[in-house]
Amino acid sequence: FLPGDDLEDRILPVPMAHDLGALIGRMDVALAGLSSVGHAHAHVPPPHDLTHFAETRRRLSQCCRHARDGRQPMNIGAAIPWPLVDRCLDDLEARARSWGSLPRQLIHGDLSAQNLLADGARVTGVLDFGDVAVGARVADIAVAICHLGFAQGRAHTRIIRALWDGWSNVVSPTATECRVLPALMTSRFCKLIVDHAWRELHAPPRPGHGALINAGVQGLHALMETPRQEVAAL
């Protein structure tokens, strides 16, 4: 039993964001010491891997075809910007060719606000290790930044910086990890949109999927609207 509530829709105090970043760093250090044997996705990139896009591209094509036919996922509060997602994936696929030097290890894989707990201003734990797989080490903090640094559909630059600084103080990121962080944030938002829209089209509608698609749409727009110099300085 872990005390606390999840961080859904919370705007974190900056010191708490720093503590959470450090906790994620300690978790990544611990996961690095574990064997990947026995994990189903250890050597096959799962769809949510932020550095691989073949499956995301396939799902995007299906979603766009359904959109042209007038079908879109239910429970969506805003129009899905499929052309923007397509352009972002083009850019990510081109950039990914230079990401071979990213440190890879076992990672949590889904550090959304629903999987992070706090009791008041005290971070208390991490939930749901069902998506553990080998991936880019920096992906865990990138996902957390997407969900907590862009809470309620807008960029909170001080929270983003605090999360990154807390993680960096523990992990000591490489120059490549620092450089690719904004791209991995774009990747997370695109995958939230595409993967959950695709699931909605191939399974009975679930309200939770709609909320995640909306978060992806709002987050992607907010990231695109953030001045480039601010994004580069993260």
- Taking only the tens place, the pLDDT of each residue in 145-171 is 999 999 988 999 999 999 999 999 999
Domains of the chain in sequence order: 5-232 (3.90.1200.10)
Torsion angles phi and psi, residue 112, rounded to 5: -75, 170
Joined together, the tokens standing for residue 187 give 């990747």
How many angstroms from the chain centroid is the CA of residue 134? 15
**pLDDT band at residue 234 using 50, 70 and 90 as cut-offs:** low
Work out the angle between the directed axes of helices 175-202 and 54-68 (0-180°, nearest 10).
40
What are the structure tokens assigned to 6, written together?
Answer: 């999840």
Comparison of pLDDT for 4 and 137, the residue scoring more: 137
Q: Among 73-82, 113-122, 174-183, 224-233, where is mean pLDDT lowest? A: 73-82
Rounded to whole angstroms, how far apart are CA atoms 140 and 107?
A: 7
Helix (H) or strand (E) holding 199: helix 175-202
Q: Of 56, 98, 108, 114, whose CA–CA distance to 183 is shortest?
A: 98
